[in-house]
């Protein structure tokens, strides 16, 4: 597979360009300032806008949507983009809720192949993710990560973790997949009434994951722009400075990895 170009647009939203495909992860393009509710008494305020407007990012061939139930992964403007995308790949529950003809829902370890007459085919495989502590899924909802494979290629050109803590499901990913570029959702999400319980990885947890996953490049995303992120970027950068294969992207800047 050809080299990837990544453009981090803010939060989890990243444009992936590879072999003629334009692939967008978790589209969020709303302006900052609004507070969004996530259910069960949780909420967060968006404090930073996208590095590029939605109109500048379109057209998009594929959206990899880790989940639809939280606005920091799919906001109002992002929902409008879904209808314009060629294909949306997401969780099975999200596919049922979105109920659109261009949406494909996958369970853990299911795959779908994307075809186009003018570019190589791509296989997308859903991988496990858990958006919080053990037994939290009935509250936080189903989340998936996704791996991208070129036709006949054993190594995943890219794997995105989705919003998840470090747990056995991610260690299973490391044991089953060879990964070139890992897109890791960090931020150490906490809410005031949940105390020390976290709902996404910290940099220290991602360091452990990088050690077992062993990607060529690890790219942190989804660690800024919202008030529910509790691990500052400076702390994450310091923690991850001990490994050489971590690549921090400048928002809005197209970067070859």
Taking the whole predicted model, whether its pTM rises above 0.85 is answered as yes
Residues 202/232, Cβ–Cβ less than 8 Å: no
Q: What is the pLDDT of residues 87-100, one digit of tens each?
A: 999 999 999 999 99
What's the confidence (pLDDT) of residue 53? 95
- Secondary structure (3-state) at 77: helix
What's the confidence (pLDDT) of residue 191? 87
Residues 24/15, Cβ–Cβ less than 8 Å: yes
Provide the β-strand partners of residue 18. 21
What's the confidence (pLDDT) of residue 192? 76
- Domains detected in the chain: 5-256 (3.60.15.10)
- 3-class DSSP string for 217-251: EEEEECCCCECCCCCCHHHHHHHHCCCCCECCCCC
What's the confidence (pLDDT) of residue 2? 67
Q: What is the pLDDT of residues 13-60, one digit of tens each?
A: 999 999 999 999 999 999 999 999 988 778 999 999 999 999 999 999
Provide the β-strand partners of residue 255. 6
pLDDT category of residue 1 using cuts at 50, 70 and 90: low
């Amino acid at each position: 597979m050809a080299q990837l170009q990544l453009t981090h647009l803010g939060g989890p939203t990243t444009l992936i360009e590879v072999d003629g495909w334009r692939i967008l992860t978790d589209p969020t393009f709303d302006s900052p300032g609004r507070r969004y509710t996530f259910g069960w008494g949780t909420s967060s305020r968006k404090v930073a806008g996208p590095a590029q407007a939605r109109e500048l990012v379109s057209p998009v061939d594929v959206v990899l949507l880790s989940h639809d139930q939280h606005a920091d992964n799919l906001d109002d403007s992002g929902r409008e983009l879904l209808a314009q995308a060629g294909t949306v790949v997401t969780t099975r529950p999200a596919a049922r809720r979105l109920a659109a003809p261009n949406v494909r829902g996958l369970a853990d370890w299911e795959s779908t192949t994307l075809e186009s007459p003018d570019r190589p085919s791509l296989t997308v495989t859903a991988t496990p993710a858990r958006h919080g502590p053990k037994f939290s899924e009935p509250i936080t909802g189903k989340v998936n990560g996704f791996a991208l494979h070129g036709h006949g290629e054993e190594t995943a050109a890219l794997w995105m973790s989705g919003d998840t803590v470090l747990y056995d499901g991610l260690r299973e990913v490391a044991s089953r997949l060879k990964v070139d570029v890992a897109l890791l959702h960090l931020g150490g999400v906490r809410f005031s009434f949940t105390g020390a319980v976290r709902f996404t990885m910290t940099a220290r947890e991602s360091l452990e994951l990088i050690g077992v996953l062993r990607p060529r490049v690890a790219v942190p995303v989804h660690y800024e722009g919202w008030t529910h992120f509790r691990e500052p970027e400076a702390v994450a950068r310091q923690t991850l400075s001990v490994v050489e294969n971590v690549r921090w992207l400048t928002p809005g800047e197209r970067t070859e990895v």
